[in-house]
């Protein structure tokens, strides 16, 4: 839900759509497109991990690696504060594409990987074909569940904030009090990566 409050995830575009079309119904449509793009970005990151059969033997090492990768992404965003120019070139009407690219550029999918891998832990008694079967069925469903819960929470929070801006506060309030959560987001990535490494270590 904190993720959804970040203007960088696109809820101002939903406000803009409602204002341009002069009808409130344009807002949920825009939010749905933003959510779909975000969901695709989450699945694009999580699904490959759910298909890793060698996760059975290298689960702890992969969780360590994922944690390090998330921390590296957080450090990169902390150092490089500029937004990707690619996002500015995407037409505002292509909200699904914009949302997909924004989520990917912000490392939103990567943030879920350490937690997702912790959920998908495989018991020591599950070896060989049994482990592979568990990995290929349950973990794929878990990947979709994690992406859906994340996307729903983010869209709900962003949608509520967009509605408040559209109905009561207006764009002038938004322009005066524009808040940038980029630093907080980068630190969040580092914290989640560290949590992923710690949980993998204690699980080991």
Q: Counting every residue, how long is the chain?
A: 204
This prediction's pTM: 0.81
Alpha-carbon span 173 to 46, nearest angstrom? 37
Give the pLDDT of residue 152. Answer: 96
Q: How far apart are CA 88 and CA 84, in angstroms?
A: 8
Q: Residue 59's pLDDT is what?
A: 72
Rounded to an integer, what distance in angstroms lies between the CA atom of residue 204 and that of residue 188?
24
Residues of the chain with pLDDT under 70: 52-57, 83-90, 92-93, 120-137, 174-175, 177-180, 203-204
Residue 15: which residues within 8 A CB-CB, separation 6 or more? 27, 162, 165, 166, 171, 174
The string of pLDDT tens digits covering residues 144-173 is 998 999 999 999 999 999 999 898 887 777
């Amino acid at each position: 839900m904190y993720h959804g409050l970040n203007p960088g995830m696109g809820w101002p575009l939903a406000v803009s759509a409602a204002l341009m079309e002069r009808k409130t119904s344009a807002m949920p449509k825009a939010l749905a497109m933003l959510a779909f793009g975000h969901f695709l970005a989450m699945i694009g990151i999580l699904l490959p991990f759910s298909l890793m059969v060698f996760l059975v033997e290298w689960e702890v090492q992969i969780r360590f690696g994922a944690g390090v990768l998330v921390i590296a992404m957080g450090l990169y965003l902390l150092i490089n504060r500029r937004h990707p120019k690619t996002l500015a070139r995407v037409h505002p009407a292509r909200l699904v594409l914009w949302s997909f690219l924004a989520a990917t550029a912000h490392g939103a999918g990567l943030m879920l990987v350490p937690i997702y891998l912790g959920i998908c832990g495989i018991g020591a008694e599950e070896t060989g074909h049994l482990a592979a079967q568990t990995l290929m069925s349950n973990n794929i469903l878990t990947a979709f569940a994690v992406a859906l819960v994340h996307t729903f929470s983010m869209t709900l929070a962003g949608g509520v904030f967009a509605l408040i801006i559209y109905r009561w506060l207006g764009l002038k309030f938004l322009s005066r009090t524009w808040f940038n959560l980029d630093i907080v987001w980068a630190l969040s990535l580092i914290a989640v990566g560290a949590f992923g490494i710690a949980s993998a270590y204690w699980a080991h």
